[in-house]
């Protein structure tokens, strides 16, 4: 399984919006988690069960 942090780091490395600079690290992680989980239904042909995850 790919850790959520790997996905977050890839995303944060590509954005240019300063919004995430203004947020606390905890708020940033919370926002990223919501976006990632909300995006799961958009994966048309996943190779694994995308709903089998754990939040640590």
Q: Tokens standing for 30? A: 């919370």
Q: Is the pLDDT of residue 56 over 80?
A: no
pLDDT of residue 17: 82
- Unique residue bearing structure tokens 């988690």: 33
CA-closest candidate to residue 7, choices 34, 44, 32: 32
pLDDT of residue 27: 92
pLDDT band at 34 (very low <50, low <70, confident <90, very high): very high
Report pTM: 0.71
Q: Is the pLDDT of residue 55 over 80?
A: no
- In angstroms, the CA 4 to CA 2 distance is 6
Q: Tokens standing for 21? A: 């600079």
């Amino acid at each position: 399984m790919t850790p959520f942090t790997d996905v977050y780091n890839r995303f944060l490395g590509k954005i240019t919006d300063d919004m995430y600079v203004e947020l606390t690290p905890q708020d940033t992680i919370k926002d990223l988690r919501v976006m990632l989980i909300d995006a799961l239904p958009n994966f048309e042909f996943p190779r694994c069960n995308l709903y089998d995850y754990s939040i640590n």
